[in-house]
């Protein structure tokens, strides 16, 4: 994922770890940026797939 506020690229799992202390943890559809704390919605599966293809292409170069 990429934070729209600070631009940090992070794994979705890293963003979920920042929400462990919240009472809505597990039922909320937001992920917290580990750098700035900005909450963003989870990436749809299609976006994750496209991002993985892009990374694979960059690795092959």
24 token code pair: 């809505």
* Total domains, the chain: 1
Which residue segment(s) compose the domain that 17 sits in? 12-60
Is residue 1 a part of any domain in this protein?
no
Q: Give me the tens of pLDDT residue by residue for the chain, a chain 61 residues long.
A: 889 999 998 988 888 876 676 776 667 788 889 999 999 888 888 988 998 898 888 877 6
Find tokens 């960059």 and name the residue. Answer: 58
Q: Are the C-beta atoms of 12 and 43 separated by less than 8 Å?
A: yes
**Residue 60's pLDDT is what?**
73
List of residues 6+ apart from 54 with CB closer than 8 A: none
Domain membership flag for residue 48 = yes
pLDDT of residue 26: 65
Q: Give domain status of residue 6, yes or no.
A: no
Strand partners, 32: 39
Closest CA to 42 of 50, 57, 53, 32: 32
Residue 13: what pLDDT? 86
In a domain? residue 37: yes
Residue 3 lies in a domain: no
User: Does any domain span residue 27?
Assistant: yes
Q: What pLDDT, on the 0 to 100 scale, is given for residue 25?
A: 62
């Amino acid at each position: 994922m990429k934070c729209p506020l600070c631009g940090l690229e992070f794994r979705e799992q890293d963003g979920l770890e920042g929400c462990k202390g919240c009472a809505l943890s597990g039922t909320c559809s937001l992920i917290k940026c580990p750098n700035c704390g900005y909450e963003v919605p989870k990436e749809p599966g299609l976006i994750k797939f496209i991002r993985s293809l892009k990374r694979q292409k960059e690795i092959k170069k």
